[in-house]
Amino acid sequence: MKLIRFRFDGAIHAGVVTGNGVVPVEEINAKLGTRVADDVLSIIQSGTAAALGGYTGNGAIPFDQVTPLLPYEVPPKIWCIGLNYKSHAEDINAVQPDEPGSFMKPASCMFQPEGDIQLPPLEVTNDVDAEGELGVVIGKACRFVPAEHIQDVIFGYTTTLDLTALDILRKNPRYLTRSKSIDTFFSFGPVIVTADEISDVGSLEVVTEHNDGVCSRDFVRNMRAQPFELVRFHSDHMTLYPGDLISTGCPKGARIKAGDTVRARIEGVGTLGAKVTQGARTVRF
């Protein structure tokens, strides 16, 4: 099943992606007599996604009539993994860590799918890359999850775009969080694919497209720390909650500038694109 949050006719809804378009959750509830929440995060938290799978009727809204949105605006947690592919470490002249090089990002850095990445003023950063990645969505509150039960706590998978101000990071590795947390430096979705749709996570190919070409591509099986291990590892350190995201790393980032386009593409999971614009120092308070 592919879940999506979208805008249609001035309102925001949750829906299921089909070959014909998007079927709103409200339409499925009306036909099946179910009471599934019209909200993607609530569906994940309540464990009610399976109730939507029994719908086989019509009622899809054509794709060109809906605007895909972030599956939810404020994930409980956003974990990202640095240097998980050897090619990425080589690209920025870094050494892969023995343990997952994880860091957190704030919800304030989110932008909408197919929206704008707004580069900050040049005096803030003048060297930014964009990284297409596979995202893991947690489905159950969990802690100290044994390796053999990891699949039980994963709700599904999504595409992510993670950005880095490389010149800030080069000043000092301790600046990693700051270099990753600038406004419009993260997005995910617009589709979340439930875990039962992906029989072999390792066979997924993660592609970052830059303008008219492919910047990088590699298979999940070549990650130093595989997605299941990332979930197990982080559950040892803190409770994971439904809707938490783990963005698993990029083979190589695309250096971007204003006027560019960038896209994360994972066959079987989805695509996530953005336009790159140049921001100005606009005071807001």
What integer pLDDT is reported at residue 87 of this predicted model?
75
Amino acid at 279: G
Report phi then psi at 73, rounded to 5: -75, -35
**Exposure of 218 in the CB half-sphere (CA atoms within 13 A):** 22
Quickly count helices (H) and strands (E) in the chain. Answer: 6, 17
Q: How confident is the model at residue 55 (pLDDT cuts 50, 70, 90)?
A: confident
The mean pLDDT of 253-257, rounded to a whole number, is 95
Cα 181 to Cα 37, 78, 208, 213, 250: the distances in Å are: 31, 11, 20, 27, 17
Q: What pTM was computed for the model?
A: 0.95
Q: Where are the domains of the chain?
A: 2-69, 78-278
Three-class secondary structure assignment of 5-46: EEEECCEEEEEEEECCEEEEHHHHHHHHCCCCCCCHHHHHHH
Which residues, at least 6 apart from 115, have a Cβ–Cβ distance to it below 8 Å?
A: 184, 187, 274, 275
pLDDT at 91 over 80: no
Q: Where are the beta strands (DSSP E) in 29-168?
A: 67-69, 78-82, 101-104, 116-119, 128-138, 154-165
**pLDDT tens-digit map of 33-49:** 999 999 999 999 999 99
What integer pLDDT is reported at residue 194 of this predicted model?
97
Tokens of 144: 């100290």
Q: What is the DSSP letter of 119?
A: E
**Homologous superfamily, domain 78-278:** Fumarylacetoacetase-like, C-terminal domain (3.90.850.10)
What integer pLDDT is reported at residue 17 of this predicted model?
96
